[in-house]
Amino acid sequence: MNQEFFMYRGYPLVRKGNEIYYGYMSEPFVVMMQIVHQQEVNGLKVADKIRVYQMATKEPDPVK
């Protein structure tokens, strides 16, 4: 499944529900932005509060 994503400054920007991911999953980290609150402005929902996380893309090694 080959998809084209919206690119911003050379990195993919992908939204799923109230979460926005920025960066390549093949790199060590990506930025995840979580929309906490929205308000309507002229009939359009606009995020006015978000949380920003730096997420590791590598799964932790299982405990031996």
pLDDT in tens, 20-29: 999 999 999 9
Q: Rounded to whole angstroms, how far apart are CA atoms 11 and 27?
A: 11
Q: Rounded to whole angstroms, how far apart are CA atoms 10 and 1?
A: 21
Q: For 32-53, write each residue's pLDDT tens digit.
A: 999 999 999 999 999 999 999 9
Tokens of residue 40, six digits = 């309507």
Q: Is the pTM of this model over 0.95?
A: no
